[in-house]
Structure 1
Amino acid sequence: MPVNLSAPDPAALHAVEGVRIGVAEAGIRKAGRKDLSVILLDEGAAVGGVFTQNRFCAAPVQVCRDHLAANFGIRALVINTGNANAGTGEDGLARARATCIAAAQALDLAPEQVLPFSTGVIMEPLPVERIQAGLPAALADASATHWGRLAEGIMTTDTVPKAFSAQVQIGGATVNITGVSKGAGMIRPNMATMLGFLATDAAIAPELMQPLARQLAEGSFNRVTVDGDTSTNDSFIVIATGKAAHGVIRTLDSEEGQALVDAMQQVARSLAQAIVRDGEGATKFITVRVEGGRDAAECRQVAYAIAHSPLVKTAFFASDPNLGRILAAVGYAGIADLDQTGIDLYLDDVHVAVNGGRNPAYREEDGQRVMAGSEITVRVVLGRGQAADTVWTCDFSHEYVSINADYRS
């Protein structure tokens, strides 16, 4: 079960004018499940995207990059689950392009105006003929109110759909923001999530969409990890339809630009944290905050060392305050001139280590009390400067192994 995360109420998700969503059952891997989704955009929508840094990136990622660079104006997104179309070579590229061609023909668009997305098993041919056959049903289902269906339709090993909305006032107009994501394992995106789609009806200058997507990912999806693996298919797409009744935002540093970024970041962060809360087999949601670094980069370096450690993650699952594992991870994070005598360690409100050694006032039962909770904050103070950064992760349970051992069956 996910950690303090429930399925969204579809009625609470704001429609975004200029966006329609359709979902269908195409039998891509298993019968009787929603596995093919389309996102249709009105003409004039602005789109930005960031993608996996895994050099073994999937065919749809390569096609998406090409189509965004072509700058024809994105009008449709096609998303399939059950098959990642990764590790499939030239044949995989041809099948991803065939998906775009099929959608373009149905919508009277150029193929370059379609972005394809896939998630699922790697190194198996994409059954593009099932996507082609399922597209009419997905297109016929298109509605502005189907965000909840989209959140379900992009799931793989997720146990609950992930979707959030927000509203913000910009130039006297109410702006809607809604997003969905999927992901539960193979998560250490280093750019985005496995799949994430965030839309707003705000009017944003098209040249701002790429920096906006990067900024939102940096403050959210780039701060989560489940298991330290970077997927071949990670994609995060940001859409602005320009339908809201306010002047065009031409700089993200303006008062209105910052208000919009803050509201969109709220949704992006909720989506990213939901992935950790629904991490495969997760029983605990863990915030790792590192303070007192010389810069944010070394704070993240230490935070990820802690968050990726199987020994740390299994200790949290067992509620075992074997906290030397955390200090060990700090030590091997790779900061060559780290002075261990300047390090303090806290679990929530419990001061565990001071000046690199056990706090004389620390009692193991206090550490165990904190670790027995479902939400835990690890705070490390490096004593080297004023920088800080935060990463969100989860524990490792027996269920994580079972899910991944049985994934293809």
Structure 2
Amino acid sequence: MSYQQIEGGVCAAQGFCAASCEANIKYENRTDMAMVFSQTPCVSAGTFTTNVVKAACVQWDQKLVSSGDPIHAVVINSGIANACTGQEGFDACEATAKAVEAQLQVPYTSVAVASTGVIGMQLPVAKLVSGVQKMSTGLSDSNQAGTDASKAIMTTDTVNKEIAVTFTIGGKQVVLGGMSKGSGMIHPNMCTMLAFLTSDIAIEKSLLQQAVSEVVADTFNMITVDGDTSTNDTLLLLANGLAGNPCITEADTDYETFKEALFYVCRFLARKMASDGEGATKLFEAKVVNAKSKEDARILSRAIVGSNLSKAAIYGCDANFGRFLCAMGYSGAKFDQNDVELFFESKNGRMMVFSKGVPLAFDEDRALEIMKADEVTVYVDMHEGDAQATAWGCDLTYDYVKINADYRS
């Protein structure tokens, strides 16, 4: 392992600062706007929702990232998604970016924006501008500022999500930090998630994008809570080069070192979002090994954690392995059920319940003990190849319906 986890989030890397404020966009008596800022221009990379219905902020950021122009700031609001809002939604993006330009003297075309919350409501632009003005005077590079920003972007999340790691490239210490939000309306590709990563690494833009795209496939695109892919999914990575490492210009060992750290950060945040699914009591992991291909392994593992019947079984601590085999069977991947072995795993133990097409006799009380843990894994050995993949989700509880039945109110 070439990286080390350290304290912090989006402010851990050199040159990055953050701020948050209570703007009353939709919520009251809590912070609901955040800003991440680098005075030094950053190269950027991003991935976005595959939903055809894309929020105005997603389209704004896609254009900004694809332009290749530098980025200085990201402004995020929670409460209202700015999706399905027509021209007025784009005007809100521009007004927010121009407010940053006026306050911090950077081009408005170097300001990304992101929103999360209720679809179909217009953003109160005056409150956005006022929020930018407040945050511009309160920017700080402290870890606490980063933590406060990670809390301000939450909607139905119950915990904030942040992480930072350090690693060495060319004799220079490099830091990568990040924060994310996501709890419901989560499904590949990607999910109802916002994630913002910051690094002081020096790296060529196309390689930064390549690393992000490759890592997302096995992290953020492998989580699901409820099968709904959002209109607002955004992952942005900004790199300002202040670490002073030799700029990474090819996919060499330095690139692999960076990608390894990036994978760890994204996997950490993805698991945090899955375990914080709306109403969830457990992290539900599916690990498929020895599949014919990587894509088959991804399809199978995602099908297991995405099945409502599987999720209900995890909630009820019901060792009904048929739920998981059924989900695999309709996933679209081709396999022979007579090759499959299926296990339940947790910190409380491991148990095989199905082998080569035949159910095994097992101790129900022991199985119950295994499934009572707060993290439960369904481990499947396909015995058909050497590919593997892991997906993450959560159990399905009564509270999921309660939370979403009155989401707007």
Q: Same fold judged by TM-score > 0.5? A: yes
In structure 2, how many angstroms separate the alpha carbons of the residues matched to 1:273 and 1:20?
A: 25
2:161 partner letter: K
In structure 2, how many angstroms separate the alpha carbons of the residues matched to 1:407 and 1:244?
A: 43
Q: What secondary structure, in the 3-state scheme, does the structure 1 residue paired with 2:88 have?
A: helix
Deviates most, 12-21 or 30-39: 12-21
How many angstroms does 1:243 deviate by? 0.6
- The structure 1 segments of at least 4 consecutive aligned residues displaced by more than 4 Å after TM superposition are 8-14
How many angstroms does 1:73 deviate by? 1.2
The C-alpha deviation readout for 1:113-148, integer Å capped at 9, x for no partner, is 111100000001111111012211111111111211
The C-alpha deviation readout for 1:240-287, integer Å capped at 9, x for no partner, is 110113211112x32222112111221111111110111111111121
Q: Is 1:386 matched with 2:386?
A: yes
2:160 partner letter: P
In structure 2, how many angstroms separate the alpha carbons of the residues matched to 1:162 and 1:341?
A: 41
Q: Is 1:79 matched with 2:76?
A: yes
Equivalent residues of 1:24, 1:36 under 8 A apart: yes
The C-alpha deviation readout for 1:384-403, integer Å capped at 9, x for no partner, is 22211110111011111111
Could you tell me which residue of structure 2 aligns to residue 324 of structure 1? 322
Could you tell me which residue of structure 1 aligns to residue 331 of structure 2? 333
Q: What secondary structure, in the 3-state scheme, does the structure 2 residue paired with 1:180 have?
A: strand
Cα RMSD after superposing both structures: 1.9
Aligned pairs for 1:255-274 (under 5 A) are 255-274=253-272
Gaps of 5+ in 1: 1-7
Q: Is 1:61 matched with 2:58?
A: yes
Could you tell me which residue of structure 2 aligns to residue 100 of structure 1? 97
How many angstroms does 1:71 deviate by? 2.7
2:406 partner letter: D
In structure 2, how many angstroms separate the alpha carbons of the residues matched to 1:261 and 1:19?
A: 20
Could you tell me which residue of structure 1 aligns to residue 358 of structure 2? 357
Could you tell me which residue of structure 1 aligns to residue 288 of structure 2? 290
In structure 1, how many angstroms separate the alpha carbons of the residues matched to 2:169 and 2:399?
A: 45
In structure 2, how many angstroms separate the alpha carbons of the residues matched to 1:258 and 1:334?
A: 32
Q: Is 1:374 matched with 2:370?
A: no
Could you tell me which residue of structure 2 aligns to residue 3 of structure 1? none
Could you tell me which residue of structure 1 aligns to residue 106 of structure 2? 109
How many angstroms does 1:177 deviate by? 1.5
Equivalent residues of 1:189, 1:234 under 8 A apart: no
How many angstroms does 1:70 deviate by? 2.7
Q: What secondary structure, in the 3-state scheme, does the structure 1 residue paired with 2:58 have?
A: helix
How many angstroms does 1:382 deviate by? 2.2
Aligned pairs for 1:6-405 (under 5 A) are 15-145=12-142, 146-191=145-190, 194-251=193-250, 253-335=251-333, 337-348=334-345, 349-359=350-360, 361-405=361-405
Q: What secondary structure, in the 3-state scheme, does the structure 1 residue paired with 2:242 have?
A: coil
How many angstroms does 1:193 deviate by? 5.8
2:367 partner letter: G
In structure 1, how many angstroms separate the alpha carbons of the residues matched to 2:256 and 2:64?
A: 29
Equivalent residues of 1:9, 1:148 under 8 A apart: no
Q: What secondary structure, in the 3-state scheme, does the structure 1 residue paired with 2:271 have?
A: helix
Q: What secondary structure, in the 3-state scheme, does the structure 1 residue paired with 2:258 have?
A: helix
Gaps of 5+ in 2: none
Equivalent residues of 2:183, 2:192 under 8 A apart: no
2:235 partner letter: F
The TM-score, its normalising length taken from structure 1, stands at 0.93
The C-alpha deviation readout for 1:27-64, integer Å capped at 9, x for no partner, is 10022211111111223321111101111110100011
How many angstroms does 1:292 deviate by? 2.5
How many angstroms does 1:296 deviate by? 1.1
Compared with structure 1, are the counterparts of its residues 182 and 330 closer, same or farther at alpha carbon in structure 2 (3 Å cutoff)?
A: same
In structure 2, how many angstroms separate the alpha carbons of the residues matched to 1:154 and 1:13?
A: 13
In structure 1, how many angstroms separate the alpha carbons of the residues matched to 2:131 and 2:253?
A: 44
Compared with structure 1, are the counterparts of its residues 121 and 16 closer, same or farther at alpha carbon in structure 2 (3 Å cutoff)?
A: same
Equivalent residues of 1:163, 1:271 under 8 A apart: yes
The TM-score, its normalising length taken from structure 2, stands at 0.93
Compared with structure 1, are the counterparts of its residues 10 and 136 closer, same or farther at alpha carbon in structure 2 (3 Å cutoff)?
A: farther
Q: What secondary structure, in the 3-state scheme, does the structure 2 residue paired with 1:42 have?
A: strand
Q: What secondary structure, in the 3-state scheme, does the structure 1 residue paired with 2:369 have?
A: helix
1:351 partner letter: M
Compared with structure 1, are the counterparts of its residues 92 and 33 closer, same or farther at alpha carbon in structure 2 (3 Å cutoff)?
A: same
In structure 2, how many angstroms separate the alpha carbons of the residues matched to 1:218 and 1:329?
A: 21
1:52 partner letter: T
How many angstroms does 1:9 deviate by? 10
Equivalent residues of 2:285, 2:377 under 8 A apart: yes
Deviates most, 73-82 or 11-20: 11-20
How many angstroms does 1:187 deviate by? 0.8
